Every structure is written in C-alpha cells, then in structure tokens.
A and B are shown apart, each in its own frame.
Chain A
Amino acid sequence: GAGVSQSPSNKVTEKGKDVELRCDPISGHTALYWYRQSLGQGLEFLIYFQGNSAPDKSGLPSDRFSAERTGGSVSTLTIQRTQQEDSAVYLCASSSRRLTVTDTQYFGPGTRLTVL
C-alpha cells in the first residue's frame, strides 16, 4: 500500500513569510508525528497526534509553529514568520499504535525547507 507522503518536497521561502507543510499518513494509522532534522543534527521531535486525544506539542520550538490534523488523517504543519534557523528537513511519520507504543513509525520522504 501507499506509504507516508509529504508535500512539497522542497520549499524555498523568504524570511518572515508563513509556510505550510502537508503530511498524508498511511491509511488507518492513528498516530502521526512531526520531526525536523537540521543540518548536522539528529531528528528532533516536534509534535504528535494520537487519535482524538489532545496533541503532544512539547517539542514545538516556538509559538510560531503549529500543527493540526483534520479528520484524523491529513496533517498540516504551519510555520509563521519564518526565520533562517527554521531551515531544515521536516519529516512526518505515522504508526498504527493499536496495541503498543512500540508500533513502528513509518516516515515520509520529508520536506526540505530553506529560508532565505
């Protein structure tokens, strides 16, 4: 079946502009995660959604970052007033989380964001 998809694959924007990044998880997966990878760094957790529960936003670096998940499926990560330090690859992952938190997270290919 189809894996996790993300769009756009690349985004170049000017400092101060808002951007929206989209994630389509694997159908039926109840958990959805956003991570980012800055240059030379590991993946950094941003936010996760599990079913209808309130999202865990503990990894969001500032209030310029927000995310929503509509209808328990597609998710959008929004970065307002982008800064150059926001430049990174933003990765989305989903998992079934039916039974246990050890259910494998499947990652999308990522969106490479460049803020000029």
Chain B
Amino acid sequence: DQQVKQNSPSLSVQEGRISILNCDYTNSMFDYFLWYKKYPAEGPTFLISISSIKDKNEDGRFTVFLNKSAKHLSLHIVPSQPGDSAVYFCAASGLYGGTSYGKLTFGQGTILTVHP
C-alpha cells in the first residue's frame, strides 16, 4: 500500500527553466510534508517542508505547494540549475498523533536532471 506516490520516475529540464516535481498521498492523517534531495552515495538532505495549515511555503528558489482537497503537493524550483540534478523524495508525517506520528513515509523518488 503506497501511501505516498511520485508517479514520475524522472524529469529533465533546461537550466534556467522551472522544474515541477509532483507527489500524491492517500492517508488523510498526514499533516506535515517534506521534500528531501539525495545525491548518489549520500543520505537524503532536507530541502523544504509545509504543514497542512498552509498551502504554500517558499525558500529561495524552492516553493512547495499543498492542495489538501486533492491530496497533492508539488515542488517548484525556479530557476533550475545543473547542481539541482539529484533524486527528490517527497515525504509525509503526522504531527498530532496516530500511527504516522513522527515517522516519515516516503515516495519512490523522482530523478531530476538539469541540462546546462
């Protein structure tokens, strides 16, 4: 039962353009969402998060949008840079209890390639 899904295994964009990575979830108990970035042979590193009381959170070139009714979130990277090439994982957790409390449930990841 895949509770967090990233349906695009890969995405290729040109440097300077926008990258949009998508994520869908099924568990309505999730109320905190994160994006992690992973380079080969390294552990994932935290990128940006959003709680369910918001629909947008921005940090520099990175913006996360949350659509609770659609159970969908997306990560926008503008402008994309070659150094952004990595695997991006979306993750979800429960803030207020339940079986998801404090634990992260991850999607399968999307490989982003930014071409110079």
Q: Do A and B come from one complex?
A: yes
B103 touches A59 (CB 8 A): yes
A45 touches B109 (CB 8 A): no
The complex places the Cα of A11 from the Cα of B67 at a distance, in Å, of 42
A101 touches B108 (CB 8 A): no
For residue B46, which residues in chain A have a CB less than 8 angstroms away from its CB?
104-106
The complex places the Cα of A93 from the Cα of B45 at a distance, in Å, of 10
A42 touches B106 (CB 8 A): yes
A102 touches B99 (CB 8 A): no
A77 at the interface (CB under 8 A from B): no
The complex places the Cα of A58 from the Cα of B105 at a distance, in Å, of 13
A102 touches B106 (CB 8 A): no
> Would you give 29 A-B contacts (Cβ < 8 Å), ordered by A?
A31-B102, A33-B103, A35-B104, A35-B106, A40-B108, A41-B108, A42-B6, A42-B106, A42-B107, A42-B109, A43-B44, A43-B89, A43-B106, A45-B104, A48-B102, A48-B103, A56-B103, A100-B95, A101-B93, A101-B95, A101-B101, A102-B49, A102-B95, A104-B46, A105-B104, A107-B45, A108-B43, A109-B42, A110-B43
Which A residues fall within an 8 A CB radius of B?
4, 31, 33, 35, 40-45, 48, 50, 56, 58-59, 91, 93, 97, 100-102, 104-110
